[in-house]
Structure 1
Amino acid sequence: MSSPLTVADFDYALPPELIAQHPSPERGGSRLLHLDAQGRLHDRVFADLAGLLRPNDLLVFNDTRVIKARLTGHKASGGKVEVLIERIVEPDRALAHVRASKSPGPGTVLRLADCFDATVLGRAGALFDLRFPGDVLDLLQAHGATPLPPYITHAAGSEDDERYQTVYARAPGAVAAPTAGLHFDEAMLGRLEEAGIARAFVTLHVGAGTFKPVQVEKVSDHVMHAEWYTVPQATADAVARARAAGGRVIAVGTTSARALESAAAQASPLRATQGDTQLFITPGYRFQVLDGLITNFHLPQSTLLMMISALAGMEPIRRAYAHAVAERYRFFSYGDAMLIESPLPPASAAPASSTPPSPASPHSAASGPAAA
Structure 2
Amino acid sequence: MQKELLTSSYDFTLPSELIATHPASPRDSAKLLVYDREKDLLTHTTFSEFENFIPKNCALIFNDTKVIKARLYGNKPSGGKIELLINRALNAYDINVYIRGKVKVGTEIIFNDDLVAKVTKLEDDGSREVEFFKASHKLRFEDLLPIIDKIGHVPLPPYIQRDDDKSDESEYQSVFAREEGAVAAPTASLHFTPEQHERVCKNFEHAYVTLHVGSGTFKPVEATTITDHPMHSEYYDISEDAKKLLDSHMPILSVGTTSTRTIEYYARNPHATKGEANLFLHPNNTPLRVNHLLTNFHLPKSTLLMLVASFVGVDKAQELYAEAIKEKYRFYSYGDAMLIL
TM-score by length of 1: 0.85
- In structure 2, what is the equivalent of residue 290 of structure 1? 290
- Aligned-pair CA distance for 1:240: 3.8
Indicate yes or no: 2:177 matched with 1:176: no
Give 3-state SS (helix, strand or coil) of 1:56's partner.
coil
Residue of structure 2 equivalent to 1:49 = 50
**Equivalent position SS for 2:254:** strand
Q: Structure 1 residues 307 and 160, CA, compared in 2 at 3 Å: closer, same or farther?
A: same
Deviations 1:108-163 (A, max 9, x none): 11112474322112234432221212421122111100000001111111111100
Distance 1:306 1:256 in 2: 15
Code of the aligned partner of 2:80? G
1:364 corresponds to: none
Q: CA separation in 1, counterparts of 2:117 and 2:287?
A: 43
Q: Is the 8 A contact 1:93 1:136 kept in 2?
A: no
Cα 1:272–1:186 shift into 2, 3 Å: farther
Deviation per CA, 1:245-300: give whole Å up to 9, x if none. Answer: xx420110000000000111112xxx561111211111122321100100000011
The answer to whether the aligner puts 1:235 opposite 2:270 as a matched pair is: no
- For the pair 1:116 / 2:119, whether they are aligned, the reply is no
Residue 72 (structure 1) aligned with residue 73 (structure 2): yes
Larger Rg: 1
Partner of 2:169: 161
**CA distance in structure 2 between the partners assigned to 1:330 and 1:113 by the alignment:** 36
Q: How does 1:183-262 map to 2 (within 5 A)?
A: 183-194=191-202, 196-241=203-248, 243=249, 247-262=250-265
User: Which structure 1 segments of 5+ residues have no match?
Assistant: 342-372
Q: Secondary structure at 1:216's aligned position in 2? A: coil
Q: Deviations over 1:212-245 (max 9, x none)?
A: 121111112111111111112321212344x2xx
Match of 1:266 among 269, 275, 295: 269
Q: 2: CA distance between counterparts of 1:53 and 1:227?
A: 28
Contact preservation (8 Å) 2:87, 2:214: yes
Alignment-derived partner of residue 106 in structure 1: 105
Report which stretch shifted further, 182-191 or 157-166.
182-191
In the alignment, what sits opposite 2:130?
130
CA distance in 2, matches of 1:106, 1:321: 44
CA distance in 2, matches of 1:2, 1:74: 49
RMSD between aligned residues:
1.7
- Mapped contact 2:246–2:263 kept (Cα < 8 A): no
- Cα contact 1:236–1:272 (8 A) shared by 2: no
User: Distance in 1 between the 2:241 and 2:224 partners?
Assistant: 41
Contact 2:4–2:314 (CA<8 Å) still a contact in 1? no
Q: CA deviation at 1:93?
A: 4.0
Distance 2:106 2:58 in 1: 53
Partner Cα distance (1:147, 1:287) in 2:
30
Number of the residue aligned with 1:366: none
Contact 1:58 1:239 in 2 (8 A): no
Query: Which amino acid in the other structure matches residue 248 of structure 1?
Result: P
The 1:328/1:61 distance shift into structure 2, 3 A limit, reads: same
Q: Is the 8 A contact 1:88 1:136 kept in 2?
A: no
* Counterpart residue number, 1:326: 326
Q: CA deviation at 1:319?
A: 1.2
Structure 2 stretches lacking a partner, 5+ long? 134-138
**Residues 272, 201 of structure 1: alpha-carbon distance in 2 compared, 3 angstrom cutoff:** farther
Asked if 1 retains the 8 angstrom alpha-carbon contact of 2:4 and 2:283, the reply is no
Q: Helix, strand or coil: the match of 1:230?
A: strand
Is 2:151 aligned against 1:148? Answer: no
Q: What secondary structure sits across from 2:83 in the alignment?
A: strand
Contact 2:113 2:151 in 1 (8 A): no
TM-score, normalised with respect to structure 2:
0.92
Paired position in structure 1 for 2:136? none
Counterparts of 1:191 and 1:170, CA distance in 2: 19
Question: Match for 1:229: what amino acid?
Answer: Y
SS in 1 for 2:33: strand
**SS state at 1:284 partner:** coil
Identity %: 41
Partners of 1:89 and 1:317 in 2: CA distance: 35
Residues in 2 aligned to 1:4 and 1:286: alpha-carbon distance in whole angstroms: 12
Letter in 2 for 1:153: Q
